[in-house]
Each structure stands twice: as structure tokens, then as C-alpha cells.
Amino acid sequence: MRRIFPSLICALAFCFALGWAVLTPEDFAQLGKHIAGGAGYVSNLVLWSESGQYFDFDSLHKLLLHLWSLGIEEQFYLIWPALLFLAWKLRISLFGVAALGAAVSFVFEAATIGADAAGAFYSPLLRFWELMAGSLLGWMALHPAKLRLSDGRRRFIREFAGVLGLALVLGSALLVRPEGFPGAKALIPVAGAVLIIAAGTDSAVNRWLLSNRVMVFIGLVSYPLYIWHWPLLSFAAIIDGRLPRAGIRAGCVLLALLLSYLTYRVVEPPLRWGRHGGIKALGLLAVMCSIGGAGLWVYSSGGVPERISDPEARAEIEVAKLDEQAAAQCALVFPQWRSTDPDNYCKMQRPDGENTIAVIGDSHASQLFPGLIRVSGKDDGVALFSASCAIPLLGLQSGADEQTVKLNPKRAQNAHLVAAGIEHILSHPEIRTVVLAHSPLCSDDELKDLEDPKLKDHDEMLRRGFARTFSALSKTGRKVVVALDNPTFDDGLYNRCKVAVMLSGIDPTGMAERRARDSCHQDQGTLLSRKAADRYNRIAKKAAREFGNVSFVDLEALLCEGGQCRMTDGKGHMLMRDRSHLNYRGAYLVAPAIMQKARDGK
């Protein structure tokens, strides 16, 4: 505790204060979860549950992403000594236990990397072999092989091991690509580290290179440097909206070195050494628990939206409570809805049998729900049936390409959830209006007609899907409202806008506010969704000509004017949760137009 808590506490407190000042409630809530995970040394398990990968662009925006490795280390330090003690008591070969454990861990990781890259990266049991390599090396140091070698040959082997080890470490840094890592690729840096250590202190690599003052200094500050480097790089990525440029990255590393030195010289010594070690450890434990508890509080409160001086923040809290109740009410009817995919949502504003409007589709359907329930009247009730990346048309399957299904086999069931939602609507006459909402990007590249699997013409599949769905709903007298999708913005532009908006609240110079005005819009013709949306909208409108009960709400038109699409409202508040999804404020903005169509169909 005296060794590793001080630096970690400083970094967690820094990130907490930074998040409190500039992050949106949603981003601050995620940071709170990661602070709690870091304080409890389970960051790898938290990140694994989010199915994120270390090299994803979105991962650049996780200020505490790097703590995954600290979590795995601490988990190893708890489990491995216990196994060694058990092996010793049972008089089992310690080397055999270590070798078998390392082999099993490595084989399972290599077998998992293709099917579950995130699991292979974050699972402690699949990464333990890398730490067990050190255990095997330690055993060999205690039980050296009695080889009859001359001093010259022994020295040559050590020198060769040092040079080869250094080459493997440098080669892995320069040549190994993220794809398929760790897996067998991790053998390269691990073997390099083992060889450098095994070479001993007298080898040239260790005597000349790793023992010079610069390298020794980096070694002394290596732990606080590890703690500090990523939050700075991550925050730079958040501000810049992309991978920071080389100069900015270099500046972040220099700042991390300075903070690491100050931590090593000022923060660590009085807590790590000296008298009253037990009291210091208990005090550090209390502080760490407090920071972890604060992180849990931030996460459970949804990012503490009331810290932001915004009258809409309280309304959002109330709607969030109603949203939870709606999910619980739908779970009574479809208890297994979310089991197929954590991004599937089924919600009912009122108990089953009392809802008059149903929204069905993918995440671009679920984003509308908070706004609709806020503007709903006493005679309305909104039900939501959404499945991740699923097109809301009968007989069609989207967002379930071979690679996606390989990583998440349950994704292939989402078309069946859409069918179940429509079947529920058809069997409930009180549901008079059905809103279809979908991100065309989900179906633009991968679309399948389940009734005619051999059909390859994308436009014809869409036409048939719309015709089947419009026909089924019109025969039972339902009104249909097709929500033409909202804009999908450029990733970098969205992130630059979001940071500018966040900083504008604490920037007295007004520079951030001016930057927000400049960066929070995009030319309508350059939207990422442009081609896919145009095709989807064109076919939907053409199919609707044969039915008198279909109307449209153009969400893009509500956010775009004069060829420019905006990510903020007139007061400078964000309307987007990410590059393609509306946040609560955005949902509330478009909700009246949808509700008007749902009520009168005009």
C-alpha cells in the first residue's frame, strides 16, 4: 500500500477533479466507474465488461484505461502465492506448477484471441502466463543448471541473451501491430524481457545501456510515469478529437516525466519510508476506499448532472427514473429481451395493455424514447422494442455480418426480436401508432432477406422489407411513422465540438466558446451517413406511396439548415451523445415532431 497507493491516489484524484470540471454527465459517469475499478484493482474486469479493446479509437477517451495491467498484476499477486503455497504443502514440483500454469494460460489466450479479442486482452487468467515467465525465471535463478561450460562460453551466452533480448523488445515496439495482440505475438516482448533479465548485471546491455543514469532515472520514476502518462495522452486526444499529433504526444510525455519526478521525490518518500508504517498504510487504504466510493457515487448518480448549471439537467434525472421503470415494466412481458445483447432495450412507459405508441428499431429507436415519454400526454403511453443494429422491417436481418456474429453470436437473433416486437404490436389493438427508426449505416453494407436468402440486390431487399412491414401494419389499421435518421457526424469533429462545449463553461477568455461555434457543425453533404441515408429514405418513400397510413419525420432536417448540420442547440448545449446518437436534449428536441405525427398522422 505504501509503495503503490500514493501515485495511484494522485492520478485518480486528478482525473476526478478534471472530470468534475469538464466532462458531460455521461462521460463523467463512465469515469466514475473506472475510478472505482482502479481503486479496487479490477480495471481490467470493468473494461472487459464494456467489450472495449485497448487499441479502439474510443479507448483513447478513457482516462484510466491503462490501469488494466495494474489490475492483472494485483490479481496475480493474490492468486499465484496461494497456488505456490498449496503446491509446496502437497510436495508438488513448483517448477512443474509454474510451467503447466503458464502453458495452459498461453494456449487458452492464443485460442481466444480470434473469437474474443477483448477477453484475451483483459482476462487475468489469459494474461497470467506473461507474469509466470518471471516466476519460471526466478526458479531457474534459485536452481541454476549445472552445465560444464567454460567462462568464455558462459559469458558469450549471457552477452548473446542480452543483445537478443533487447532486439526482441525493440522489435516488438516497432514492428508488432495491434491486430491479434496479445496472443502468440506477446511471446516476442516477454521473451525479450526474460532474456535481458537472465543475461545478468555483467552483460553489456545491462552494464552499459540499462545502468546509465538516464535509464536508471526512468526506472526510478517508472511506476509514477506509468500512472501519469495515459491520462495526459487521453485528455489530449479528447481535446483534439483525434490521435494527438507527434508534438503534442511528446509534450504529454515530458509533462508526465515532470509529474512522475515530483511524485517520486515529494509524494512517495514520506509515505513509503519512515516510522508508523502501519498507520500510514491504513490511512492510504482509507483514502483509496474514499476515492473508490466517490467513483461509485458518480457512476450511480449518472455523472452528477446537477453539478452543471442547466435547468434541463433536473428534467433529465426525472426522465432517467421513468426510463428505469419502463425497462422494468417491459421485463415483465419480455424477461429475456436483453439477454441476447446488452445493447437491446425493451421498455414500456405504462403497464402492458395501456401503451398507445410503439417505437421499434435499433439504437436509433431507443435514443428517441426519453424524449417521447417526456412529451407524452396523459392518454399516451410509449413502448420501445429495440435490438442492436437491427432494421425494423419484417423478414430482414442487418448488422449481423460474419465477423460481428463471430464475436457476438447472439447478434444474429436480433431480427427475431424485431419480429417478436411487431407480433406484440399486432396483438395489442391499443397500440395505434408504430414508429420505425433505424440507422441506415447498420444495413447499408450487410443486409439479408430471411425469406429469400439468395437475393443479393440491396435495394430490392429494402423494398420488400418496407412492403411487408407497411402491409402488415396497415391491414390492422395502424398508423406508421418512419423516422428518417438524424445526421452521423465525423468522429474527430464530434469530439472537438464536445470538448469545446465542456471547456466553454470554465474558460473565462471565451476562446472555447468561439471554438465551439466553429467546430460544432458539418456540411450536410459530407455526413458519414449521407449515402446510406439517401438510399434508405428514397426506398422508404417510394414503398410508402402504396399505403395511405404512412408518414415521415425527417430528423436530419430538424438538425440541419442551410446545408449545415449542428451538434448543439441555440444555447451551446450538446444535442449528440456520440457521433451518431442523440443525447437526452437532442431526443427532447425532435420528440414533439414525432409525437405530432404519431397522434394525427399528418
The DSSP result for 267-283, as a single string, is IHHHHHSSS-HHHHHHH
Residue 411 has pLDDT above 80, yes or no: no
Which range is least confidently modeled, 25-29, 35-39, 350-354, 402-406?
A: 402-406
What is the number of H-type helices and E-type strands within the chain? 27, 11
Residues 569 and 554: their CA atoms lie apart, in Å, by: 17
Among candidate residues 37, 294, 228, the one with its CA nearest the CA of residue 50:
37
Q: What is the pLDDT of residue 57?
A: 47
Length of the chain: 602
Question: What pLDDT, in 10s, does the model give residues 247-268?
Answer: 888 999 999 999 999 999 999 9
Residue owning grid cell 428534467: 315
Between CA 197 and CA 190 the distance in angstroms is: 11
User: Using one digit for the tens of pLDDT, what is the confidence trace for 489-522?
Assistant: 988 888 778 877 877 766 555 565 666 666 788 9
| pLDDT recorded at residue 473 | 94
The mean per-residue pLDDT over the stretch 194-214 comes to: 92
Q: Comparing 496 with 221, which gets the higher pLDDT?
A: 221
Residue of 560, 541, 536, 561 lying closest to 552 (CA atoms): 541
The residue with greater pLDDT, 313 or 215, is 215
Selection from 25, 598, 7 nearest residue 304 by Cα: 25
Quickly tell me which residue has 483513447 as its cell. Answer: 60
Residue 309's identity, in one-letter code, is S
Residue 305's pLDDT is what? 76
Q: What is the DSSP string of 399-437?
A: S--HHHHHH-GGGGGHHHHHHHHHHHHHT-TT--EEEEE
If pLDDT is split at 50, 70 and 90, which confidence band does 241 have?
Answer: low
| pLDDT one-digit tens code per residue, 168-197 | 999 999 988 887 788 889 999 999 999 999
- β-strand 345-348 against 382-386: which pairing, if any? antiparallel
d(CA 414, CA 22): 37
Strand (E) or helix (H) holding 218: helix 213-220
- Distance separating alpha carbons of residues 388 and 344, to the nearest angstrom: 5
Quote the pLDDT of residue 602: 45
Angle between helices 530-544 and 458-475 (to 10 degrees): 40
At residue 10, the pLDDT reads 95
Contacts 24+ apart (CB under 8 A), 164-169: 164/192, 164/195, 165/191, 165/192, 165/193, 165/194, 165/195, 165/196, 165/197, 165/198, 165/199, 165/205, 166/192, 166/196, 166/205, 166/209, 167/192, 168/192, 168/195, 169/193, 169/196
> Does the pLDDT value for residue 478 go beyond 60?
yes
Per-residue model confidence as pLDDT tens digits over 256-304: 999 999 999 999 999 888 889 899 999 999 999 999 999 999 999 888 8
Asked if pLDDT for residue 242 goes beyond 60, the answer is yes
For residue 15, what pLDDT is reported? 94
Of the CA atoms within 13 Å of residue 175, those in its CB half-sphere come to 10
Residue 565's nearest CA partner among 557, 554, 577 is 557
Q: Which of 344, 468, 333 is nearest to 412 (CA)?
A: 344
The yes-or-no verdict on residue 133 having pLDDT over 60 is: yes
Q: Kindly report which listed range (126-130, 293-297, 387-391) carries the lowest average pLDDT score.
A: 387-391
- Average pLDDT along the chain: 88
- Whole-structure pTM value: 0.67
Give the model confidence (pLDDT) of 84-102 as tens digits: 999 999 999 999 999 999 9
Q: List, in sequence order, the alpha helices (H) in 402-549.
A: 402-407, 414-426, 440-444, 458-475, 491-504, 511-519, 530-544
Of the ranges 316-325, 403-412, 416-425, the best mean pLDDT one:
416-425
Nearest residue to 417 via CA among 297, 330, 512 = 330
Handedness of CA 333, 336, 340, 344 (dihedral sign): positive
d(CA 93, CA 106): 20
At 407 the pLDDT is 64
pLDDT of residue 600: 75
What pLDDT does residue 44 have?
92
Structural contact between residues 235 and 200, judged by C-beta atoms closer than 8 angstroms: no
What is the per-residue pLDDT for 507? 55
